[in-house]
């Protein structure tokens, strides 16, 4: 399976993460096309090659005509003029209203939610009352959503993050002069390994911390991993004693475990479930959406016959062990249950990747599952098929079947 390891030499910011993914081969044109669907106004992603202290990589600038400036790896290094502040509700609305895939929407909202929770804790308020300043700007939204889209394009099954270097001093932002690391950054990095440096700058920004800590699923890369590609994303500030670079290593580990069945390696997940007989359909649907937005791997409902002959539903949530507190909180707050059952399970997941194919109705992404060295299952992305069908005036099924046929044809050409 493919996984990504972030090695932070000079720090981590949203644009450095995005630059590292682009340096790994994520298409700038694809990102620009997909992100243009966000209702945030015009922007341009500029990608430049750069060398620093003998290292070569990529630097990203997001140009926004309405408040033109070059954002750097220290988001708060100097006062800047931004458009009106956006809150979590506004950002959720603009992401939900886009044409991005469901997985990219969910991943992006998890990052913003985690950032809002950190800001709320620091300022003594609630996540929905937080109004982002620097992070609410167009360039920061592009960094976060673009990074989540880039991770999807790479088709990685897991992300690990090495120790994060911290600078010292003070930083100027919308709240005034704050210590380095910024309070929100410190809150986000609780429980994560950090390393002190002599750099008098903000090395890890709240945006960078939110992205890395939200996307991290592995403590380290698996033993026996092979490095496939290396991407290096550069920040804009020149540091005193180190290159201002974030390295991303795309790695692959053997997908076949050493058991008698020859099955791929498994990971451990957690199942949370409860029976409900007095929750309205509207609230049930809202609960499912909130659980998925918070990062649940799967949520589903099963009809059950409960005590006193009452028809009800069994709510089942599949999540990662570290997501347990968030999921429990949502279920208790958003449902009528008095208790939740939980137990660990193991799952086996096909290695997967995303590719795009040209159909007579437009471009469609397909998800390909790989088993023991062979591609065995293909699934066109529904949202792409739906949009193409609406535009061409044909059925979704016609687009779906055309994508499958085109994928087979592309496979023959490659072989």
Residue-wise pLDDT for 50-100, tens only, equals: 998 889 999 999 998 865 545 544 444 344 444 456 888 899 999 998 989
Residue 2, pLDDT score: 84
pLDDT tens digits, residue range 235-266? 999 999 899 999 999 998 754 333 334 444 56
Residue with token string 């290593």: 249
Q: Is 320:342 a contact under the CB 8 Å cutoff?
A: no
Higher-scoring residue by pLDDT: 86, 398: 398
The answer on 320 and 283 residing in a single domain is: yes
Handedness of CA 135, 139, 142, 147 (dihedral sign): negative
* Burial class of 114 by CB neighbour count within 10 A (0 to 12, 13 to 18, 19+): buried
The answer on 219 and 98 residing in a single domain is: yes
- Domain boundary among the residues 228, 252, 276 is at 252
The mean predicted confidence, pLDDT, of the chain is 87
Do β-strands 44-52 and 55-63 pair in parallel, antiparallel, or remain unpaired?
antiparallel
User: 73-98: b or e for each residue (b if 16 or more CB lie within 10 Å)?
Assistant: bbbbbeebebeeebbbeebbeebeeb
Q: Which domain holds residue 334?
A: 266-348
The answer on 67 and 191 residing in a single domain is: yes
The answer on 289 and 164 residing in a single domain is: no
Strand partners, 60: 47
Q: Is 85:116 a contact under the CB 8 Å cutoff?
A: no
> Domain for residue 133, yes or no?
yes
The answer on 176 and 305 residing in a single domain is: no
HSE toward the beta carbon, residue 110, CA cutoff 13 A? 25
- Supply the CATH number for residue 410's domain: 3.10.20.300
pLDDT tens digits, residue range 324-355? 888 999 999 999 999 999 998 888 888 878 88
Residue 372, pLDDT score: 80
- Domain boundary among the residues 303, 326, 348 is at 348
pLDDT tens digits, residue range 105-162? 989 999 999 999 998 998 888 888 887 765 557 888 999 999 999 999 998 878 999 9
Strand partners, 62: 45
Q: Is 357:403 a contact under the CB 8 Å cutoff?
A: yes
Residue range 12-26: average pLDDT? 97
Q: Where are the beta strands (DSSP E) in 253-361?
A: 266-276, 298-305, 311-319, 341-348, 351-359
Residue 80, pLDDT score: 44
Higher-scoring residue by pLDDT: 177, 234: 234
- Supply the CATH number for residue 329's domain: 3.30.70.1380
């Amino acid at each position: 399976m493919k996984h990504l390891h972030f090695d932070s030499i000079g720090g981590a910011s949203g644009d450095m993460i995005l630059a590292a993914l682009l340096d790994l081969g994520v298409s700038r044109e694809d990102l620009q096309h997909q992100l243009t669907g966000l209702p945030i106004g015009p922007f341009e992603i500029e990608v430049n090659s750069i060398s620093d202290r003998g290292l070569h990589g990529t630097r990203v600038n997001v140009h926004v005509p309405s408040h033109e400036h070059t954002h750097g790896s220290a988001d708060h290094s100097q006062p800047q003029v931004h458009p009106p502040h956006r809150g979590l509700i506004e950002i959720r609305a603009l992401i939900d209203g886009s044409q991005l895939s469901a997985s990219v929407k969910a991943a992006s909202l998890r990052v913003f939610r985690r950032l809002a929770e950190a800001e709320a804790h620091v300022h003594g308020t609630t996540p929905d009352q937080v109004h982002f300043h620097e992070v609410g700007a167009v360039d920061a939204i592009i960094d976060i959503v673009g990074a989540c889209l880039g991770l999807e394009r790479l088709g990685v099954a897991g992300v690990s993050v090495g120790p994060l270097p911290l600078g010292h001093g003070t930083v100027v932002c919308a709240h005034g002069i704050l210590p380095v690391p910024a309070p929100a950054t410190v809150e986000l990095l609780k429980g994560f390994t950090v390393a002190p440096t002599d750099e008098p700058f903000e090395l890890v920004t709240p945006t960078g911390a939110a992205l890395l800590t939200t996307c991290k699923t592995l403590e380290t890369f698996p033993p026996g991993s092979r490095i496939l590609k290396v991407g290096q994303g550069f920040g804009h500030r020149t540091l005193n004693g180190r290159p201002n670079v974030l390295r991303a290593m795309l790695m692959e580990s053997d997908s076949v475990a050493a058991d008698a069945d020859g099955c791929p390696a498994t990971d451990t997940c957690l199942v949370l479930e409860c029976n409900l007989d007095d929750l309205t359909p509207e609230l049930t649907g809202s609960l499912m959406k909130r659980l998925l937005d918070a990062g649940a791997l799967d949520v589903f409902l099963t009809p059950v016959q409960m005590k006193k002959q009452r028809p009800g539903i069994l709510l089942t949530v599949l999540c990662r062990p570290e997501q347990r507190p968030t999921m429990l909180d949502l279920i208790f707050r958003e449902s009528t249950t008095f208790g939740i059952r939980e137990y660990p399970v193991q799952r086996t997941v096909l290695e997967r990747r995303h590719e795009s194919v040209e159909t007579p109705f437009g471009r469609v992404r397909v998800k390909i599952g790989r088993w023991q060295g062979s591609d065995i299952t293909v699934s066109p992305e529904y949202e792409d098929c739906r949009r193409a069908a609406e535009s061409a005036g044909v059925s979704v099924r016609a687009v779906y079947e055309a994508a499958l046929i085109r994928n087979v044809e592309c496979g023959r050409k490659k072989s």
